Structure 1
Amino acid sequence: MKSVGYAWLLESLQLSAFPLRRPAKVQPVTRIKWIGETLAVPASIAPAADDLLAHLLFGLKHEGINLAILAQALPRIPAAALEAELAKAPNGIYLRKACFLREAFTGEPLHQHAPVRGTFVPLFDPAAYVTLPGERNSRWRVEFNGIGTLEYCATVERTPEVVALLEHGILARAQDFIQSLPAAMMDRAINWAYLHETQDSFAIEKESPSEDKSRKFIQLLRQAHERLPLSEDYLVALQNATLSNPFDRAGAFRHEQNHLASGLQGSAGVTYVPPSPDLCRELMTQLMVLANDAPARIDPLVAAGVISFGFVFLHPFMDGNGRLSRFLIHQTLCRAGALQHGLLLPVSVAMKREERLYLETLQEFSRPAREFWDVRWIDHGQFAFEFTGDPAIYRFWDATAGVRFTLEMAKRALEVELREETAFLQNFDMAMRAVNDSYDVRGSDLATLVMMCLTNNGTVSKNRRKQFLYSVQPEVFDYIEQVCRALLSEQQGEQPVDD
């Protein structure tokens, strides 16, 4: 099957870009339509095999905006070819978009035979993409409304999954839920969220934080509510606060190449290589500008997903990038004013439970990016890296998967993690009161037994009975089980209400 549009550009020009998820192909159809994950195109309307501009305009019209491909393909189109088409159709929407982007990517002005007329057109279709309020270019009457700039831009498609999650109103539901709790219960639920967000963020990195590390990270999470803007100094301070090894602490964004590795030996074990130090620092400047601006202009959870995954793909430090990327979800939501009363959505708790899905989401970018690096093993822990691709793969990236995952984890953090912990605390309080009303048991012993019983499906284990044999009467164990089982049974019998 002959490729069309972006797929043709990718193959014919041998561009550096990730494989297309939905390529256009010539197929025996009578009209352009989707067949599975392929855009089927009738042979009668497919661009000619050697018409670069026609394939590019086809992609713009039927496949949306792929800046990584456009940034590499447009400079290959002679200015004369675009100017000839302008003479025929000076107000063509997709031609105007192509001219606007070519001038932006090359700095070479195109000759207009007549001024462009008509209304401004958005570069990204707002019905197909999440967009920012645009900046207008009066020369081509095109509005750039991407998430970022033409130096660094993320795209987020309005897939059915993303749209459904956005319509769920996760942040408003979280705020309503936490405000519905009694003040004391609210404080306990939030304290639980801070502690477990810290523990599970470290656990994802296969670390068990010391008490000092945990305390410092919790302080960082609470400081996010101060809404400080991102800067290199601020991120360096955050990175230093999360690490205990003084040799791993940074003074600035990295000046050497880093990488991620599996347990395999040699270059085969290198699983991801982020951009070179110079490109990383340039793109981090762009990302920080976006992080300080976007949360107030698009859905905060979309901004959080873009900033968090964008950060971890740039990997600006030699260590600590993963924890900071998850912290940036919280920081972005706070900067948007989306979390009040010190609320924290424990997304790392949800991510830890969905660790495989988290890894798969990261690999949607890391695996194809790895293909553009020639890695040569020198000695243990030492490699030579040669980038064989184009900076466009890091500069213009598809954040849809990362945003979808962030939305899913925020939803789970609210509807599973926070709600389950709050229900646990409520059951704990009721069980403590019920047992205290009937028996005289030392408070610390009772608290331990009730907690263990509730987490063990209403059973006090034989080991716990032996442990407290000489401080708790035998009938108290049975009564604790009776109370906890009744509470758990009542909880399980409740039907969830969609509020």
Structure 2
Amino acid sequence: MSDLPNDPIGAAWLEQRYEVRPVSRLPVQSQIGNRRATQIVDGDRLETYQESMRPSDEPVAHLQFHLRHEVPQLEFLSRLFTRTGPEFIQAWVDAEPTGQYARRAAFLYEWLTEDALQVPERLGGNYVDAIDDTKLVAASSDHAVKVPRWRIKDNLPGTRYFCPMVVKTDAFNRAAALDVLQLFQNLQAEFGEDLLRRAAVWMTLRESKATFTIEGEADRGNRIERFADVMARRTGQGDCPLTDETLAQLQGEILGKRTSLSHLGLRHSPVFVGETVHYQDIVHYVAPPHEDVGAMLHGLQVFLERTQGQSPVMRSAVAAFGFVYIHPLADGNGRVHRFLINDILRRDGVVPEPVILPVSAVITDDAGERRSYDRVLDEVSKPLMHAVREFITFKSTQTTYSDGVVSNFEFGGFEQACPVWRYPDLGPHVIFLSNIVKRTLTEQMREQSRYLRSHGRARQAIKEIVEMPDQQADRVLRSIEQNRGELSNVLAKEIPVLREADVWKQITEAVSQAFQEDPPVDRHILERYHPARPAGETA
């Protein structure tokens, strides 16, 4: 909903009155009409109320309506309070020192602006939550902090410097309810823990390869193996990598020793996400200034601390996508972003060691999911770039920064971009990741596990006919696949016994039977996720 309603009330009225337009869409807009109605437009709600619900023609009345009936949006409130100053909030809380919405507004004003109001002498009333946890993801109840100053329970999930706003739409609630642990236990019941553990090595390599494909860097063998090793060793281990020290260590292991960077950890330079086309720099996203990334990462840490016990897939999505929008590193942000998906799921106890969910493989192997991934990244970056593109310049001279980055990029739109960076709406990202995780567990991992189980049976069947090492049996299987069941001269020369009467026929029949013993599977899925080489075959 890009346009304001015809007869706006609440936040839309305040937008119009103060000419404050948030970059992100308001999740709820309200208007006055002939009859009560709710309309869903592009996932956002347009609420129509009858005349009896119209607030008085005062800013306080419409702000109270926003806090009470709509979904408060921190980006909008931050811009509004910057525009209005403290006067009307101060007057409101002075007039209603025990009113819950006046006290909420006063708390939010101070929290967002860091400017202090005067607390009325007669302030009172029961403690109330800062935000409604039925509308927004909030801090878990045992992590809400009482603020005696305003008699408010601070249940905001982050800090002033980074507090993702996750709206609890019906689609979000379904996505957040995904029972990742139950889906994994279903796999265990079907295939057994031993097979899943043996498949874990392949899945880790598959995830590593796919993450480079997403970044447009395929067939980088050493880098793929290095990142796979990092995921196998570091996922869910030690402190969550969201500090300068822990990120420097993780970044160093991911990038290896050969890097142009002179400094690891939090960047000391400006950064944008983009590409060069015909010698022209195309900017898709501008990241926050390097001076802010430490405080923003701390806000993300606070979010993870304060939402403990809530949906693992929600927490994983916020950690991963929150990180990529902060973009705190000079290099390696995308890999850490995708690392965090598995890292948080492991820490939350829903994916056991050593299993790595190959979520990136689902994205790269399905063109539709790849487009969905790009679209969900655009949820924040596209409207931001529409608002700030005019502030981007490329100087004629380069600047060398202390982390080794050389750049002529300059950005002058920090004031416009700051509330978007700090308070991104990550609800669509949770919905996206929930679907990807579900497909990973119910499609890719199931079909791969079936393939590996059949492969194991086929290998054993070959060894029942001709004694040979596992590695040689794998080569026989690979030859059957590549040569459509015909015995190749190369394999016959390597294993002469295969030329003996009926031996090759017995082997091919046994292999065919081994792969037919599993129930029918979706051929489209099986072909999509068919491994490049049989299990046990090294690169």
TM interval, shorter chain, is 0.7 to 0.9
Q: Mark the CA change 1:277 to 1:464 in structure 2 (over 3 Å): closer, same or farther.
A: farther
Work out whether 1:350 is the aligned partner of 2:362: yes
Query: Which of 114, 117, 128 is the matching residue for 1:109?
Result: 117
SS at match of 1:319: coil
1:146 corresponds to 2:156:
yes
Instruction: Quickly say closer, same or farther: Cα 1:129–1:171, change in 2 above 3 A.
Output: farther
* Deviation for aligned residue 1:290: 3.9
**What is the correspondence of 1:84-233 to structure 2 with a 5 Å cutoff?**
84-86=91-93, 89-104=96-111, 105-112=113-120, 114-118=122-126, 120-133=127-140, 134-175=144-185, 177-178=187-188, 181-182=191-192, 184-208=194-218, 210-221=220-231, 222-230=233-241, 231-233=243-245
1:7-35 deviations in whole A, cap 9, x for unaligned?
34345434463241545253533236335
TM-aligned CA distance change 1:312 to 1:211, over 3 Å: same
State the alpha-carbon separation in 2 of the partners of residues 218 and 295 from structure 1: 29
1:155 deviation in Å?
A: 1.9
1:110–1:172 distance in 2 versus 1, CA, 3 Å: farther
Output the aligned Cα RMSD. 3.3
Aligned with 2:60: secondary structure? helix
Residue identity matched to 1:435: I
Match of 1:242 in 2: 254
Deviations, residues 258-292 of structure 1 (Å, cap 9, x unaligned)? 1111343577711111111112233123324444x
Paired residue secondary structure (1:226) = coil
CA distance in 2, matches of 1:9, 1:467: 78
Mapping of residues 272-421 of structure 1, within 5 Å? 272-291=285-304, 293-294=305-306, 296-353=308-365, 354-371=369-386, 372-373=388-389, 374-378=391-395, 382-387=408-413, 389-421=416-448
SS of residue in 2 equivalent to 1:493: coil
Contact 2:9–2:32 (8 Å) recurs in 1: no
- Any idea what the Cα deviations from partners look like across 1:431-467, whole Å, max 9, x if unmatched? 22233334567854542343576xx6xx843898565
Tell me, which stretches of 5 or more residues in structure 1 are unaligned? none
SS of 1:397's partner is coil
Take 1:433 and 1:339, find their aligned partners in 2: how far apart are those partners?
30
User: 2: distance between equivalents of 1:267 and 1:10?
Assistant: 37
Contact conserved, 2:157 with 2:302, CA < 8 A, in 1?
no
Matched residues in 2 for 1:275 and 1:367: separation? 15
Check 1:55–1:96 CA distance in 2 against 1; reply closer, same or farther (3 A cut). Answer: same
Q: How far does residue 391 in structure 1 lie from its aligned partner after superposition?
A: 1.4
Partner of 1:30: 35
Residue 298 of structure 1: SS of its match in structure 2? Answer: coil
Return the letter of the residue paired with 2:125.
Answer: R
Extract unaligned runs of 5+ from structure 2: 1-5, 399-406, 523-539
Contact 1:170–1:411, Cα closer than 8 Å, also in 2:
yes
CA distance in 1 between counterparts of 2:350 and 2:16 reads 44
State the secondary structure of the residue aligned to 2:133: coil
The partner residue of 1:59 within 66, 74, 77 is 66
Q: Secondary structure at the match of 1:147?
A: coil
Q: Secondary structure in 2 aligned to 1:73?
A: helix
Distance 2:325 2:261 in 1: 19
Q: Percent identity?
A: 23
Q: Deviations over 1:81-126 (max 9, x none)?
A: 33544465444333321121113224222342622213x3222322
Q: Structure 2: how far apart are the matches of 1:155 and 1:41?
A: 24
In structure 2, distance between residues paired with 1:328 and 1:494:
31
CA contact (8 A) 2:180 2:350 kept: no
TM-score of the superposed pair, with normalisation by structure 2: 0.80
| TM-score normalised by L of structure 1 | 0.86
Moved more, 192-201 or 296-305: 296-305
Structure 1 residues 183 and 400: alpha-carbon distance in aligned structure 2, compared to 1, 3 A threshold? closer
On the 8 A contact 1:255/1:277 being kept in 2, the answer is: yes
Query: Larger deviation: 434-443 or 320-329?
Result: 434-443
Task: Provide the rounded CA distance (Å) in 2 between the counterparts of 1:215 and 1:437.
Answer: 34
Residues 213-241 of structure 1, C-alpha deviation per residue, up to 9 Å, x if partnerless?
33432332122342324321110121122
Partner of 1:428: 455
